[in-house]
Structure 1
C-alpha cells in the first residue's frame, strides 16, 4: 500500500477554508477535517471526564459547552496547553487512521484541513501547503455574519494565530478569496496543477 501525498489546507479565521475544502471534495479529492475530528473527540466519555476535571462546569448534560470552554482557555496559555494535551493526540490519531483508510482505498493524495497547521507544527509533515487568505475586514465581516462574535472578539482570535503574511510565506500555494466563487475556483485549479494534482469537478 503506497503512502498518499499529504497536502495541508489552512487559512486565517474567515478566509474561506471550508469553501475550498468543499471545492476539493467536488474534484474527487479526499479531505480530512481536523475540526470535525476534534468535535468527535470531545464527544468521547473519557475526554469529557478529563475536560470536566480540568475545567469544571464545561460539561453540561453529558455534552461539552464549547462556548464555556473557549472562554476558559482564551488568553490563558497554560489552560490552552492543558486542553491541547487532552485533545490533540486523539485528533491526530483519528486523522492518521482516516489517512490509512484513504490509502487502503487507493487515494494518491490526501488533503488535511487543519486550521492551526503552522501553529501546531504540522506543516513539516506535509508535501505541500495551500493557504486561503482574504483581507482582514472581509474576513471579519464573514465571521460576524455567521456567528455571534463581535468584531473585537474576531480580531482578538485572529491575533492569536500566525499572521497571514507568515502563513503566506510558508505556503506552497496561496488562494486569494476576495472575489467570487469562479475567481477562487480558477486559482484552486491552477494551484492543483502546480502541485501535480488534478481532475475536473465531479458532475
Structure 2
C-alpha cells in the first residue's frame, strides 16, 4: 500500500484536493480533525495537567490554550509533546486499517507535514499550491479572517516555494476544479506506476 502525505499552506485547496483522492479510492486521514477530536477527549486531562485552567466541560478551550502557547516556544514544545504522539498513534491505526481493507493507497492530510518531519512516515508527498493572490483571496473570504490573522498563520508555515521544491508532486489548484481533478488523476496513475510490483 502506498502512503501519501498531502500538505499545502492555508487557502491552497487542500481539503478539496483530498476529497478528489478519496473519490478515486484513497482513504484519507485528516490530522487537523484528529487534533480537534483529541481536544474534546483523550488529550483533555493531559493538557489540563500541563496547562491548568485551559480546559472546560467541552474539552480544551482553544482560545485559552492559544494564549498560553502563542509566542512561547517552550510551552508550544510541551503541547506538541502531548499531541504529536497521540496523532501518530491514530495515523498508524489508520494506515493499518487501510492496508487490512486492501486499499492501494492511503492519504494523510497534514498541514504542517514538513514542519513536523512527517514526510519520514510516508512514501510520497503531494503539495497543493496556488498563486499567492488566489491564496489571499480565498483565505480572506473565510468568516472572521483578517489580513493580520492570515499573515500570522502564513508566517508559521514553511514558504510555498520551499514546499513545492520538496514535494514529489505539486497540484496547482489555481486553474479551477476540472484542472485539479485531471492533475489528481495523473498523479495517482504515476504513483501507482512507480510502485507497481514487478511481475
Query: Which moves more between the two structures, 57-66 or 157-166?
Result: 57-66
> Aligned residue for 2:183?
187
Moved over 4 A (4+): none
> Which residue does the alignment assign to 2:22?
25
Instruction: Tell me whether 1:42 sits opposite 2:39 in the alignment.
Output: yes
Instruction: Please say if residues 117 and 123 of structure 1, whose CA atoms lie closer than 8 Å, have aligned partners that are also in contact.
Output: yes
Q: Which residue of 2 aligns with 1:163?
A: 159
Distance 2:91 2:18 in 1: 16
Number of aligned residue pairs: give it: 193
What's the TM-score once normalised by structure 1's chain length? 0.88
The answer as to whether partners of 1:58 and 1:69 remain within 8 angstroms in 2 is yes
Displacement of 1:73: 2.1
Partner of 1:110: 106
Tell me the alpha carbon deviations over residues 88-137 of structure 1, each in whole angstroms, 9 at most, x when there is no partner.
10111011011111111111211111111111111122211100011233
Q: Is residue 141 of structure 2 the alignment partner of residue 145 of structure 1?
A: yes
Contiguous gaps of at least 5 residues in structure 2? 194-199
Q: Match of 1:61?
A: 57
One of 155, 162, 173 as aligned partner of 1:177: 173
Tell whether the 8 Å contact from 2:41 to 2:59 is kept in structure 1 after alignment. no
For the 8 Å contact 1:31–1:111, the answer to whether it is kept is: yes
Gaps of 5+ in 1: 198-203
Match of 1:97 among 70, 93, 97: 93
Q: Secondary structure at the match of 1:195?
A: helix
Residue 196 of structure 1, CA deviation: 1.9
TM-score (norm 2): 0.90
* Backbone CA RMSD of aligned residues: 1.6
